[in-house]
Chains A and B, each alone.
Chain A
Amino acid sequence: MLTAELPFLALLLAHLAVAIFVPPFLFGIIAKVKALVAGRKGPPLIQSYRNIAKLLKKQIVLSMTTTWAFLAGPIALVVTGLGISMVIPMGGTESPFGFSGDMIFVAYLLGMSRFMSVLASLDTGNSFEGLGAARDATWSALAEPALFLGMGAIAFFSGHTSLGPAFFAVGSTWGNASGPFILVLAGWSIVFLVENSRIPFDDPAGHLELAMVHEVMLLDHSGPLRAFAIYGASLKLLVTGTLLVRICLPIKSVWWLDWPAYFGGLALLALFIGLLESVLARMRLIRVPQLLVAAILACTFGFLLLFLEPK
């Protein structure tokens, strides 16, 4: 049982377990951190599990103008999230379904989830949802080149286009190319905050629809749909978080060391988000594209640095 690598079945089960059970817990940590910083006791860590369970049992209230697109939105969120989690290497050295070129698959799955959520929000015919959809889609579209240039840098450094081996190469030779990867990390953290509509870009706890971005898109969802939407959002948080965590974690290619390190990284990330949200306020909308351009530039320079120095 102490072999260095998990067998495939164990790896698959581990990934499924993490993908299904860990994400709501991250929301719990963030909420708890924000409450503690504000001096409140805050909701219990497992509060979002309870929310999702309750919502799954409720009925769905649909508006007359909606069509199948409204139902497909949240489902696409969940499906793409799970798809990405199958492809991204979490604890171990590689992912259960990794294949060469799965970086591209990840990017386009994100695109698919964005496409379906926009359709879902436009379907209700409510102008707020259109507003939210337009903003969310535009910003994450602007963020995508940054994400991809980062992936290009990793692929260039490792020589593999599959995420598993790429992150393994990055982790195992942890020390020697830290400069470029810090730039990529900076770029990716901005992308992470945009994709999950965290505080500098959107206020998840806000209640003024005109200011919302992500929350307003879930306005009309009820019952299981809302459960899927919340779970999908948290899954997306986990998945993009894994990208951030894996780029900084060294890999010892021993499973009982790597997986705890990975969980610790995730917890740390959630803590960091909580702190960020309780300290910063939401940024003005017109300055968001400038920050995104900064993210793209960071990743580009990371890539160039890697490319110019002899391997």
Chain B
Amino acid sequence: MYFLAPACFLFALVLVVVSGVIRQFRPSAILLISGCGIIFGCSVSAMLENTWFVNLPYFLPEGSFALQMDAIAAWFLLPMSLLPPILMVYGEGHWGKTNPLLAQRYRLLLGFATASLLIIPVAAHAIFFVLAWELVAIFGFLLIIAGDTSDKARHAGWIYLASSHASVMCLIAAFCLMATANGGGFFATLPVGWAHTGAGKACFLLFTIGFAIKSGISPFHFWLPEAHGIAPCQVAAFSSGLVVKIGLFGFFRLLMWVPDPPLWWAGCILLLGVLSALLGAINSVVQKDYTRFLAFSTVENMGVVAIALSIAFAGKSLNQPVLMALGIAGGLVHVLNHCIIKPLLFLTAGSILRITGSRNLELLGGLAKQQPRLAFSFFLGAVCICGLPPLFGFVGKWIILLGAFEGFTNSGWIWSAIAMSAVIFAGSLSVIAFARTFGIAFLGESRYFRPKKTSIPTLMKRPMLILVLFAVAISILPMILPPTLQPVLNLYDQTNTTMNPFPFFLNIVPIGQLWFLTCLLVFLGAFLWWRVKKTVIRHQPTWDCGYAKNSPRIQYTASSFAQILRDLFSVVLLHKKAPPNTKGVFPAPSQFSTESHDMMLHNGLNPAFRGSAGLLARLRIAQGGLLPIYLLYIVITLLALLAWTLA
């Protein structure tokens, strides 16, 4: 029996890869669904204490092909095995008729990317982990530029690929340092006290940089809005929903490896988390392109999970098991929430893009009238991702904030107050951002496009429906979360066996009472809705203060909605206004336009790269083309080496 679980895991991986290779859609979809289903089964069984470790040493030239399935890996594998089939069906719906070749290439790349993605949580050897990590980066890149071969798309893809490769290099360095501590590439808990040595510090910094780049935590988030703002929405859903999570998974693994993390580690991760939560939230309020908006919202959510992680790290270093448990539980629930809802939002954005053909929020409006189901799914996604009460997004944020409270009340870690206010402020900003996007895109009247009745193919509607059902199911029964979280908490806290399974969740995180109160409020709302519907309703055009020629463009636009916040945070946001030139007695007709760029990329990295490239260009005269100069180099090297050895 011992060998059954890993065997079917590997078989499932093979299925996923083969599903990509097959040309027709139907068999490949069936294969992918069955493969992911098996993996889902494996992870559920791993949740029920059926963890396994298998090592096939002879496989790789060096190191070994080792797999280890434990509770934390199972938790990440759950969403990672559910989403790919959904995204593949959506991709088929989107490109199936119009561009079958592209659909077939998308399936191929998605199959490979999913297979390499599913390896990472179970990889138990450094080489194998890094191998899968880079494969995901390469296939992610090919997916991003699959849709369109313009220079802009390729540039965005290039930024993604280069930063992922840099993160791989950081990880290799970190794993090598770790190998010096526990001898050999296998993942094992590090010796006590090693974290405080020089190598330990360097290893932590490298791990943090590597994982932060991959999970889009600022200041390394610059690639995320570029890549996800350009990529086709189902690819952005795949990478925002899943690929970004393996960066966070890395942090969870790091938390497990280090028995005694110093406290400044928690401070470091908190700083990164707060930075990316606030930057992500502020930037997302001012975006005009709704796919970039969703990308910045991903950066914000990653920041919130990083804050939860910092609380967990603080808990472990102050050995407060409750604080650590809250941090981990909050982080994991928020990851699950983001894994389900962000793809839903991206798929909805993809459908909007298909209908209106434009990514600019200013041109949209009144979509709720044409696509009521689409509007409802975006609304549901928005409510859930902002953590607003009725849906289960609130449970994640609630546990994180409970952890923050626990941090400064009982554990005396003052910085968790900053964690609390960052989560709250980022949350309220994202409420505005999502209200603005939903309001401008779906409500009111259509600003530029004549509302034409184009229907979305069923293959695109089904995936969104499934995701909506997932969200609603978990929101109705948040009680299923504690039992699934319990094995993970036990994994992290072998030392303290006093924490028996359920009381932790009952007295510290009373989900039952929360659920009861929320149900009451929902019923009250339903009653009031019935009461309003009962009254006689007359319909008239909106009251227009008597202004006769009223055009829909007079409606409040996205940038005007965000104007107060934009001016307030103008120091952080890079915002270029092109003011209309109204000079002269009869000014020519002109236009007012604003352009918002990502501060880190536009002011930070691009000038730095241009400057250094210019600097290096000066060194290129060394290859000046004259043969004597080259021979002079040889003589100089010879003399230098002779002087070094003989003198």
Contact = CB atoms under 8 A, between A and B. Distances in A.
Most buried by B among A75, A107, A224: A75
A97 B554 contact: no
Interface stretch (B16-24, B75-83, B258-266, B400-408): B400-408
Contacts of A176: none
Interface in B419-444: 420-421, 424-425, 427-429, 431-432, 434-436, 438-440, 442-444
Nearest to A75: B528
Contacts of A115: 382-383, 386, 388, 431, 434-435
A114 B430 CA distance: 12
Contact of A65 (B379, B429, B444, B525): B444
B291 to A, nearest CB: 21
Interface in B513-531: 513-514, 516-517, 520-521, 524-525, 528-529, 531
A119 B443 contact: yes
Contacts of A89: none
A200 B379 CA distance: 33
B428 A307 contact: no
Contact of B538 (A61, A107, A126): A61
Contact of B398 (A104, A134, A140, A152): A104
Contact of A289 (B366, B510, B525, B568): B568
A159 B462 CA distance: 48
Interface stretch (A78-86, A183-191, A241-249): A78-86
Nearest to B438: A119
A69 interface: yes
Given A101-B402, A224-B531, A67 B443 contact: yes
B398 A101 contact: yes
A99 B514 contact: yes
A130 B555 contact: yes
A133 B561 CA distance: 8
A262 interface: no
A179 B542 CA distance: 52
B538 A62 contact: yes
A75 B532 contact: yes
Interface in A94-148: 97, 99-101, 103-105, 107-109, 111-112, 114-115, 118-119, 122-131, 133-135, 137-138, 140-142, 144-145, 148
B421 A149 contact: yes
Given A59-B538, A122-B443, A155 B554 contact: no
Given A60-B535, A104-B401, A105-B514, A71 B529 contact: yes
B389 interface: yes
A67 B386 CA distance: 22
Interface in B351-402: 365-366, 368-369, 372, 375, 379, 382-383, 386-390, 394, 397-398, 401-402
Contacts of B444: 65, 122-125, 130
Contacts of A109: 389
Contacts of A138: 432, 564-565
B149 to A, nearest CB: 38
Contact of A79 (B410, B420, B524, B554): B524
B524 A141 contact: no
A83 B386 contact: no
A280 interface: no
Nearest to B420: A152
Interface residues of B, number: 84
B521 A79 contact: yes
B409 interface: yes
B481 interface: no
A64 interface: yes
A63 B529 CA distance: 18
A124 B543 CA distance: 9
B540 interface: yes
A304 B533 CA distance: 50
B583 interface: no
20 contacts: A59-B538, A67-B442, A79-B521, A83-B521, A97-B513, A108-B387, A111-B428, A119-B438, A126-B544, A127-B556, A128-B545, A129-B556, A138-B432, A141-B431, A144-B425, A152-B405, A155-B409, A161-B406, A225-B532, A228-B528
A223 interface: yes
Interface in A38-96: 59-67, 69, 71-72, 75-76, 78-80, 82-83, 86-87
A303 interface: yes
A128 B564 CA distance: 15
B541 interface: yes
A117 to B, nearest CB: 9
Contacts of A134: 436, 556, 560-564
B537 interface: yes
Contact of B537 (A59, A83, A141, A159): A59
B445 interface: yes
Contacts of A66: 542
A107 B383 CA distance: 15
B427 A223 contact: no
Nearest to A113: B388
Interface in B464-487: none
A123 B443 contact: yes
B552 interface: yes
Contacts of A76: 525
Contacts of A104: 397-398, 401-402
A284 B240 CA distance: 41
Contacts of A256: none
B499 interface: no
Contacts of A114: 431, 435
A108 B528 contact: no
A100 B440 CA distance: 37
B414 interface: yes
A292 B117 CA distance: 45
